[in-house]
Amino acid sequence: MEKLDLVEEQMFCSGHAACPGCIEALSVRHVLAALGPDTVAVVPPSCMAIIAGPQPFSSLRIPVYQPTLEASAASASGLRRALDAQGKHDTQVVVFAGDGGTYDIGFQCLSSAAERNEDFIYVCLDNEGYMNTGAQKSSSTPRYARTGSTPAGKTTRKKNLTEIMAAHGVPYAATATAGYLPDLVRKVQKAKSLRGTRLLTLLIPCLDGWGLPDDGGLRAARFAVESGVFPLYEVSDGRRYTLNHATRVRPVSDYLGLQRRYRHLDAAQIEALQAEVDEGWERLLRRVAASEDELTAAC
Amino acid sequence: MSEAVEETMLLTGNHAVAWAARLARPKVAPGYPITPQTPILEKLTEFAAEGAFDAEIITPESEHSVMAACIAASLAGVRVFTATASQGMLLMHELLHYAAGARAPIVMANVNRTVASPWAFWPDQTDSLAQRDTGWIQFYSESAQESLDTVIQAFRIAERVLVPVMVSHDAFYVSHALEPVRVPAQALVDAFLPPFDPPHRIDPENVESWGNVVSQEMFNRHRRDLGEAMARVPAVALEADREWNRLTGRGWGIVERYRCEDARTVIVTMGSMCGTARDAVDAMREAGQPVGLLKVRLYRPLPVEALRAALAGVPEVLVLDRNYSPGHGGVLHQELRAALYGMEGAPRIRGLLAGVGGVNVSPRRIAEYVRDAADIDAGADSVWMK
């Protein structure tokens, strides 16, 4: 057990409407603390919109604009340009969107904003499904996971948002999770120090949607990293890869075993998921090695 | 008017709109190309490249994102302009409601074009008329000059009542036809349009939010407030038009009665069809026929009082609709019937679906409609014309 020494600016207030034990509330608290008060947030319909609170209440000490579900990156673009037109270049625009609002319905405008390299931080609060409507599948839901709309388990793979956004050549794309809080905070600070479109994909274990006990969120987040299901890495300018947690110390079955959404899996399915993770891990290592070679060659 | 305060240029309707947008000095101007709107976007980017248009230009992947960016920028407290047409307008539909609900005083030009399917590119007003319940103020323009004047007036109206405005003109007849346009000087427009300074904005120094979930009562109150703002529009639009007239010598009214004195028949229509009907009225008057034109320039809010006053004592009305609402008929026809319902001595109204899909309607054809009106059913249904 270690005590984390985090300097925290109180930007996220108690009294918010998250479920008890919610990892999303914990994550956003630390993201906001790192961003500070000169920030405006764009929050589409999602768990985060509920957590932000109904009128006239707000759990965030910054202005929040809630756009339509599919329009977060376009709205952030409009907000950014209007702030720029008023000379407020230092004000950060941050999006807090769910995976449904990012991988699915909001993806078209996110891709376009990244192509224009619009100057905002996009935080995808990825709980791998439409949890705010009662846990249906999104294109972020992993294979075999049971959801309200895939009662027999999803048959297709999870989309890789971070890789797709990195392929746009954005200045910064990274994965992070509250299970590794200092790493998460460092990445927010790094994103804050850059300009252009910056993406943070945060894995948010959902207690209700994944079938975890109230105190099980952080354990699931740590197991996801330790098994290689959710590698922690950063990509700069779409080319330079850095792996932040370089060893895998658990089999995928440890991670799956924590969650009710995987309880129906047979041995072959578990093996298939292990193979999928192994393949992804090897690919990631090759990219890290390639960018190290490139860096060496450049020196 | 002295030469110093305006310049006459040969412009298409679309370039007249681009000039109006330039003179209004918006700070953010998102846009997406679509026929026949594209020349507006291209002209604005050309102005920006010359350093004559100091707006943040955003070129997203769709009209949907264009309007999303417009709303957020407007709520951040800056003047916003965009333009669209047809499918682009339809793609924006969800966000048109959102913009009006957010009380974002965006000004948008629309080039009226047929709505698919099947695909076509012809003048037809169904695209914008299908947005009548979104909470946007709507103007329909007859000429390039009127489009320029109306876009500038629209900013003043939108920002006074905090309701977005769309200004529509017809594909090609107005959008691409060249005509001499008097372009006012920047100083004149600056005097007419004070800098946009909204009472609320998204600003980290003064924390306010927009879009959070509200209660039933709050939603209800919000819609009533929007209704009250809409109710103020006819007076605000007339004030803006009077002031514009004082500065430029040009006023357009919210409706226009053209040669309606002692008219037995009045043609009611919107957009470029007004120009055609004007010629038809002139020819019929020349032949001694008591026929006039009532042009509807402000369509939302529908200026019911002005329409009733304009048609008081007129026995016969022919509405020409270049749009079609399947199962309902001509939109202006049905709205005018509702507006005049219960009016003492209300005129007999015939609704003619004329020019739907961009079919050409000549002045001679309009004169034939008037001549043969007795043969046209004056019931509730609009009638398809050849």
- Tell me: the pLDDT tens digits for B301-356? 999 999 999 999 999 999 999 999 999 999 999 999 999 999 999 999 999 999 99
For chain A, what are the domain ranges? 23-298
pLDDT band at A299 (very low <50, low <70, confident <90, very high): confident
Judge whether residue B2 has pLDDT over 60: no
- Residues ≥6 apart with Cβ < 8 Å to A278: A228
Best mutation site among A50, A77, A132 for testing chain B: the one with the most B CBs within 10 Å? A77
Lowest mean pLDDT among A48-57, A288-297, B367-376: A288-297
Grade residue A94 by pLDDT with cuts at 50, 70 and 90: very high
The phi and psi torsions of A275 (rounded to 5 degrees) equal -65, -40
Which residue would you say has higher pLDDT here, B282 or B5?
B282
Alpha carbon distances (Å) from A209 to A18, A154, A214, A266, B305? 14, 14, 12, 20, 57
DSSP-derived 3-state class of residue A240: strand
What pLDDT is attached to residue A5?
A: 78
Question: Is the per-residue pLDDT at A208 higher than 70?
Answer: yes
Q: Is the pLDDT of residue B176 over 60?
A: yes
A78 contacts B73? CB cut-off 8 A: yes
Rounded Cα gap, residues B67 and B106, in angstroms:
9
Pairwise pLDDT comparison (A34 vs A7), residue with the higher score: A34
Q: Six-digit token pair at A220? A: 């699931």
Residue B115 is predicted with a pLDDT of: 98
| Beta carbons of A109 and B27 less than 8 Å apart | no
pLDDT score, position A294: 84
CA–CA separation, B83 and B166 (whole Å): 9
Confidence of residue B1 (pLDDT cuts 50, 70, 90): very low
Instruction: For A40, name the nearest residue in chain B, comparing CA atoms only.
Output: B204
- The whole-number pLDDT of residue B301 equals 98
Which of B53, B61, B74 has the highest number of chain A CBs within 10 A, making it the mutation to test binding with A? B61
B209 vs A63, A68, A71: nearest CB: A63
Contacting residues of B for A39, CB less than 8 Å apart: 204
pLDDT band at B26 (very low <50, low <70, confident <90, very high): very high
Planar angle of CA A47, A51, A57, nearest 5 degrees: 140
Q: How confident is the model at residue B4 (pLDDT cuts 50, 70, 90)?
A: low
Chain A: residue whose CA lies nearest to B65: A74
Are the Cβ atoms of B78 and A74 closer than 8 angstroms? no
d(CA B308, CA B294): 11
Residue B225 has pLDDT above 90, yes or no: yes
Contact list, A61 vs chain B (CB under 8 Å): 207
Q: Minimal Cα distance from A88: which residue of B?
A: B203
Under 8 Å CB pairs connecting chains A and B tally to 146
Which one of A50, A54, A75 has the shortest CB-CB distance to B214?
A: A54
Q: pLDDT at position A297, please?
A: 85
Q: How far from A124 is each of A13, A101, A200, A204, A217, CA to CA, in Å? A: 21, 9, 6, 9, 17
Tokens of A25: 């509330």
Token pair belonging to A155: 């048959």
The DSSP element (H or E) to which B277 belongs, if any, is: helix B273-286
Determine whether the interchain pair B69/A86 forms a contact, defined as Cβ–Cβ distance below 8 Å.
no
Q: Which residues of chain A lie closer than 8 angstroms to B200, CB-CB?
A: none
State the burial class of residue A215 (Cβ atoms within 10 Å of its Cβ: 0-12, 13-18, 19+).
exposed
Return all residues near A107 (Cβ < 8 A) that are at least 6 apart: none
**B66, B73, B202: residue with CB nearest A81:** B73
Least confident residue range of A166-170, A193-197, B2-6, B157-161: B2-6
> Buried (b) or exposed (e) across A236-256, using 16+ Cβ within 10 A?
bebebbebbbeebeeebeebb
Of A164 and A297, the one with more pLDDT: A164
* Residue-level pLDDT at A131: 97
Give pLDDT tens digits for A225-275. Answer: 999 999 999 999 999 999 999 999 999 999 999 999 999 999 999 999 999
Helix/strand/coil (H/E/C) assignment for every residue in A170-205: CCEEEEEEHHHHHHHHHHHHHHHHCCCEEEEEEECC
How confident is the model at residue A295, as a pLDDT?
82
Task: Collect all residues with Cβ–Cβ distance below 8 Å to B241 and sequence separation of at least 6.
Answer: B153, B251, B252, B253, B254
pLDDT mean over B95-117: 98
For residue B181, the cross-strand partners are B9
Q: How far is B220 from chain A (nearest CA, A)?
A: 14
Q: pTM for the whole thing? A: 0.97
Task: Tell me the per-residue pLDDT of B46-60, one tens digit each, with 9 for 90 and over.
Answer: 999 999 999 999 999
Q: For residue A8, what pLDDT band results from cuts at 50, 70 and 90?
A: confident
A111: nearest CA partner in chain B: B61
Q: Name the architecture of domain A23-298.
A: 3-Layer(aba) Sandwich (3.40)
| Domains in chain B with CATH codes | 3-248 (3.40.50.970), 255-384 (3.40.50.920)
Task: Collect all residues of chain A within an 8 Å Cβ-Cβ radius of residue B204.
Answer: 37-40, 62-63, 91
**Contact B112/B98 with Cβ under 8 angstroms?**
no
pLDDT average, residue stretch B261-270: 98
Q: Residue B17: which of B242, B175, B127, B160 has the closest Cα?
A: B175
- φ and ψ at residue B189, rounded to 5 degrees: -65, -40
Instruction: Answer whether residue A190 shows pLDDT above 50.
Output: yes
Residues 6 or more apart whose Cβ sits within 8 Å of residue A188:
A30, A31, A34, A35, A121, A176, A200
- Taking residues A15-27, what's their average pLDDT? 96
On the question of pLDDT at B140 being above 90, the answer is: yes
pLDDT in tens, B185-200: 999 999 999 999 999 9
Average pLDDT, chain A: 96
Predicted pLDDT at B3: 47
CB half-sphere exposure, A176, CA atoms < 13 A: 30
Contacts of A67 in chain B (CB under 8 A): 68, 71-72, 98, 211
Residue A148 reports pLDDT greater than 80: yes
